[in-house]
Amino acid sequence: MPSATPAERSRPTTPTGSSDPESSTPPSSVPARAHRAYWPVLGPAGLIILAFVAVAAIVPQWFNEVLKSINTSVVNGIGWYYVILVAAFVGFSLYCGLSHYGDIKLGPDDEEPEYGVLSWFAMLFAAGMGIGLVFWGVAEPLNHLAEPPPGDVMMNADAAGAAQNAMATTFLHWGLHAWAIYVVVGLAVAYSVHRKGYPVSIRWALEPVFGRRMKGWLGDLVDVVAVVGTLFGVATSLGFGVVQLTTGLTDIGLIGETGIGVILVLTAGITMLALLSVVSGLDIGIKWLSNGNLLLAAGLMIAMLVLGPTLFILRESVQNLGTYLSDFIEMSFRTLPYRGEPGETWLGAWTTYYWGWWISWSPFVGIFIARISRGRTVREFVLGVLLMPTLLTFGWFSILGGTAIYRQLTEGGLIAADGTVETEGALFQVLRTMPGASVLIGLFLVLLVVFFVTSADSGSFVVSMLSAGGDPQPRVWIRVFWGVLQGAIAAVLLYVGWTGGALTDGLGALQTMAILVAAPFSLVMIAMCASILRSLHREHRQMLRLERAALRRELALEMAESDEYEFVTKTGEQASPAQR
């Protein structure tokens, strides 16, 4: 995931020339001084994370049982809430982008976009997904093929129908719903930063609703929730990345049998690489890493399209999109109430997990896409964030997932006889069936490492800004502190879930925490929606007043000119000011 370069991060945010008088009046002071930690946020957030890591490391078995209990009683119970909330975010995003609010610019009225269209789209795509694309690109479609949502067509009854449903469900989890979550946070932050001149912080996105109370303890609480949620969301991705990296290294013979010790060593090693990126702050280094992972991902997509069943992929990608669009409403509200416990279990393992994961990522991704969207209109922002990354993501899954499903339907072997899928190794199973397998596996492992480093770097930088009161250039020690904790969270969750040398419980622990930490921030997002609507409505009303005032001035001027012309025509003399 590309992060803003140091030069961009240090660029000050200035009040804009908005048509709303209030939008050019940022707070007289922010809750932090330049380059210093803001302890009312950093302290509580740091203590929460440290306490979590300590308890999980000291009593892992007890903590594992607690997570399983929470997963059963809480995660399954909030599935319906996440489903209706995220569906509402899609409708809300489309309303903001397609209504009369869409003409409002995220910045001064006369400012051009900071980045070109292609660069902006590329950064949007990398910002929202990262490691998850590599981990789930093959694994998720195969899992849905092996174990469809309860009530869907079963594989042994209709293989083609099951394959189609598997791709449609994958599209649901990675499509418009995910990006609508990012739109809510990104639009709220972009408006407060670029239009109103506030510091980079979640708290000021809620100022239109809560007023100057966001400058006190309430704002601190919001930022603490955002920091904790972001850390767990990013740590979940890093944990998945380490597990898949371990499997890939084992597959090519670089390491022996996988164990928790190997996983923890790899987690520590790659976290150190991420810390080097954080500490160095080298513009060229970060820029090359960020652009390099996009080029490498694009090259691997093209290679798999050419080397795989090309015609099948092209045909199924078109049909996948059609199925997704035709079933969009039904899938958006799917809660499986008539399927009993199997329905609850499936929802918690997939849809609820994904909605929680995206919500926990949303402060991080929202701030990033807000930062790169200065000068865009609300309509450009919403449609760009919703549509372009979604289409690119669909292309990724159509190629990787489509290749996997084709191999399973024609040759078999990717789904075991008992109906299970080797989730963490599914990608490498598919790659071994393709020409140049060793080269492809090596390149995918490189892609994983680069995604890991850029995601950890960007994540620690965003939470550092939040815990420094919006300072665009937080001190190095703050960045290192959060970078270490990100790696520690991923490591301790994998350690807690490790039982009998299997990865299943470790991945389950990561999923459970991603869902849980998203719950409090979902309330913040609801308040953000109210804040966005209030701000956009207020500004639109002000724009209408200014337009009506300008129209009255034009009419008055036209009438004055008409009266003067009539006077001159009748008298042949110029009208005096009094006569005018």
Give the separation between CA 296 and CA 454, rounded to whole angstroms.
Answer: 14
Q: What is the pLDDT of residue 188?
A: 96
512 vs 487: CA distance, rounded Å: 17
Question: Looking at this protein, which amino acid is placed at residue 468?
Answer: A
Residue 290, in any domain of the structure: yes
Length of the chain in residues, anyone?
A: 580
- Among 112, 89, 119, which residue's Cα sits nearest to residue 181? 89
Q: Domain range for residue 271?
A: 6-552
Which pLDDT band holds residue 522 (cuts at 50, 70, 90)?
Answer: very high
Section 446-453 average pLDDT: 83
Q: How confident is the model at residue 3 (pLDDT cuts 50, 70, 90)?
A: very low
Tell me if 461 is assigned to some domain.
yes
Using the predicted structure, report yes or no on whether residue 17 has a pLDDT greater than 70: no
pLDDT for the residue numbered 404: 95
Q: Give the tens place of pLDDT for each residue, 140-163.
A: 999 999 998 887 654 445 778 889
Question: Does residue 394 belong to any structural domain of this protein?
Answer: yes
Residue 567 lies in a domain: no
Q: pLDDT grade, residue 220 (50/70/90)? A: very high
Between 251 and 378, the more confident residue is 378
- Predicted confidence at residue 565, as pLDDT, reads 58
Average of pLDDT values for 518-532? 94
Element of type H or E holding 298: helix 283-307
Residue 15 has a pLDDT of 42
Q: What distance in Å separates the CA atoms of residue 101 and residue 200, rounded to the nearest whole number?
A: 23
> Which residue pairs, CB below 8 angstroms and at least 24 apart, start in 562-568?
none
End-to-end CA distance of the chain: 65
* Res 21 pLDDT > 70: no
Nearest in space to 456 (alpha carbons), one of 290, 291, 305? 290
Burial class (CB in 10 A: 0-12, 13-18, 19+), 333: exposed
- Of 103-112, 156-165, 552-561, 571-580, give the lowest mean pLDDT range: 571-580
When pLDDT is cut at 50, 70 and 90, the band that residue 20 belongs to is very low
Domain count, the chain: 1
SS3 375: coil
Q: What percent of the chain has pLDDT over 70?
A: 84
The CATH number assigned to the domain holding 457 equals: 1.20.1740
Please give the pLDDT value at position 577: 52
pLDDT, tens only, 462-477: 888 888 888 777 888 8
Q: Which residues of 84-106 are buried (b: 16+ CB within 10 A; e: fewer)?
A: ebbbebbebbbebbeeebbebbb
Q: 564 lies in a domain?
A: no
Please name the residues in contact with 228: beta carbons below 8 A apart, sequence gap of 6 or more: 45, 48, 49, 517
Using pLDDT thresholds of 50, 70 and 90, give the confidence band for residue 128.
Answer: low
Q: Does any domain span residue 570?
A: no
Spatial distance between the Cα atoms of 405 and 320, rounded to a whole number of angstroms: 13
Is 22's pLDDT higher than 70? Answer: no
Q: Which two tokens stand for residue 34?
A: 């330049």
Q: Where are the alpha helices (DSSP H) in 199-216?
A: 207-210
pLDDT for 258-309, tens place per residue?
A: 677 888 888 888 888 878 777 765 344 455 666 677 788 889 999 999 999 9
Largest alpha-carbon pair distance within the chain? Answer: 106
CA 532-533-537 angle, to 5 degrees, is: 120
pLDDT confidence bin for 516, thresholds 50/70/90: confident
Domain assignment present for 562: no
Asked whether residue 574 is domain-assigned, the answer is no
Say if CB 383 and CB 141 are below 8 A apart: no
Q: Residue type for 537, please?
A: H
Over the Cα atoms of the chain, what is R_g? 26
Residue 415 DSSP symbol? B
Residue 377: φ, ψ to 5°:
-80, 165
Chain segment 535-546, per-residue pLDDT in tens: 999 988 888 888
Quote the pLDDT of residue 470. Answer: 80
- In the structure encoding, which two tokens stand for residue 192, read together? 């407060």
